Structure 1
Amino acid sequence: MKLGVIGIGNIMYSDEGVGVHFMHALQQNYKFTPNSPDDSIEFIDGGTLAALLMHILVEFDEILLIDCIDADEGSIGDVYFFDYEAMPKSVKWSGSAHEVEMLETLQMLDLCGDRPRTQILAVVPMRIEPMSFSVSDEVLKSSEIMERTAIDFIASRGFSCEKIGNLSVRDIAENFDSKGKN
């Protein structure tokens, strides 16, 4: 099985970039080893590319899509984890251009019959208008829940997870350079 961990978001607008920052934190804080030689895992910074990711997404058997979302009755920092095919009705992919585009990208993959099995791990962000490369305290706190959820999911897909670092999502966000590395 080929598993893709895809971080989505606009890193220039604080919590809007949480998917990208969280994906990098997972990649830098853990060593993932497949339990089977036929399995592999790949981490991808999807940024705000959405539809331009289609040719990449179809290469995976399953993807873990990490992003921010809105939800009815949701509060800043609330974490959601669900199968794309069982998306809660309370979830709203609105609030920034990349969210709508990512939903449309998944729908286009469905129309083509090429969408890999898709799990969504998302958090309700604090909307911050001025550009900022940091993340809110609420999302930082929620990243602990997201980390446990992601590690449990990845382990359930046949990967051993060894902790090798301790960078927070905020550390990643505040030290992000133009090449997407810390």
Structure 2
Amino acid sequence: MSEANRKKTLILGVGNLLLKDEGVGIHTIQALEKENLPAHVKLMDGGTGGLHLLAWLEGYEHIIMVDATLDNNPSGTVRVIEPRFATDFPPLMSAHEIGLRDMIEAMVLTDNLPEIHLIVISVANINEVNMELTPVVEKSIPEVIRVIKELI
């Protein structure tokens, strides 16, 4: 497929770097900055998410979000979800879950919903203050990058 025919894609890492594993989405974006990605793919550190990101998401046909989740799976478990509605999110996402859900609902209401893939990484704790990931969650980043490359 030629570059001109590829979907304009945004990879959006969400999280809080100050809260250890809760920042895995941001750590993933930092790792992706060292990768050789196609020109139609852009990276964004979305911080803790929220409706303020809506304007930045305009114009993308495909959005891949990366975030931590408290879902009772073993830490470091990587899953891909295709949310079409806020109810498609895992029951307990990270500290900014409401912002991401609201963002999806707003896109649905404005009939401006691109193709969305949500990559969630299971974590055990989102309240521990530290800027480093736990080893088990850090080891999941190469798998997340592999999944992202398959999706793009």
- Give the structure-2-normalised TM-score: 0.85
Q: Hey, what does 1:33 align to over in structure 2? A: 38
> How many residues were matched structurally?
146
Which SS does the other structure have where 2:80 is aligned? strand
CA distance in 1, matches of 2:73, 2:11: 24
List aligned pairs for 1:38-49, cutoff 5 A: 40-49=40-49
Q: Hey, what does 2:4 align to over in structure 1? A: none
Q: Aligned letter for 1:32?
A: L
Q: Hey, what does 1:76 align to over in structure 2? A: 75
Q: Measure how far apart 1:112 and its partner are.
A: 1.1
2:1 is the counterpart of 1:2: no
Q: Aligned letter for 1:42?
A: K
CA distance in 2, matches of 1:8, 1:121: 11
CA distance in 1, matches of 2:100, 2:86: 14
Which SS does the other structure have where 2:116 is aligned? strand
**Considering only CA atoms, is the larger Rg found in Structure 1 or Structure 2?**
1
CA distance in 1, matches of 2:88, 2:103: 19
List aligned pairs for 1:129-140, cutoff 5 A: 129-140=127-138
Structure 1 residues 10 and 24: CA distance shift in structure 2, 3 A: same
- Tell whether the 8 Å contact from 1:8 to 1:66 is kept in structure 2 after alignment: yes
Q: Aligned letter for 2:45?
A: D
CA distance in 2, matches of 1:27, 1:79: 20
Which SS does the other structure have where 1:122 is aligned? strand
- In structure 1, runs of 5+ residues without a counterpart are 35-39, 155-182
List aligned pairs for 1:1-182, cutoff 5 A: 1-28=7-34, 30-34=35-39, 40-71=40-71, 73-85=72-84, 91-96=90-95, 98-154=96-152
Which SS does the other structure have where 1:5 is aligned? strand
- In structure 2, runs of 5+ residues without a counterpart are 1-6
Structure 1 residues 137 and 153: CA distance shift in structure 2, 3 A: same
Q: Which has the higher strand share?
A: 1
CA distance in 2, matches of 1:55, 1:130: 31
